[in-house]
């Protein structure tokens, strides 16, 4: 994996991803989300992280 691709993966996983999830969480709390909405949020977070990792790593393999 190239250094630039690795930096993008780390940045999206540890900086932009958590900021997005935190803002989304605060919005859900602010609108008094239902239990179903909160459940879907907690499903969305790990799936989103997993999909980010998969998409960034497969992107590198397609470039070769």
Distances (CA, A) of 11 to 4, 14, 31: 10, 5, 29
The CA distance from 12 to 56, in Å, is: 10
Residues of the chain with pLDDT under 50: none
Report CA-CA distances (Å) from 18 to 10, 13, 30, 48.
Answer: 12, 7, 18, 11
pLDDT of residue 56: 81
Rounded Cα distance between 33 and 13, Å, is 25
Q: Note the pLDDT of residue 64.
A: 59
Single pTM value for the model: 0.78
User: What is the pLDDT, as a whole number, of residue 41?
Assistant: 97
């Amino acid at each position: 994996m190239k250094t630039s691709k690795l930096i993008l993966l780390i940045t999206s996983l540890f900086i932009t991803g958590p900021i997005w999830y935190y803002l989304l969480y605060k919005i859900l709390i602010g609108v008094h989300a239902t239990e179903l909405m909160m459940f879907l949020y907690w499903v969305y977070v790990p799936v989103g992280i997993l999909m980010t990792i998969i998409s960034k790593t497969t992107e590198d393999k397609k470039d070769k």
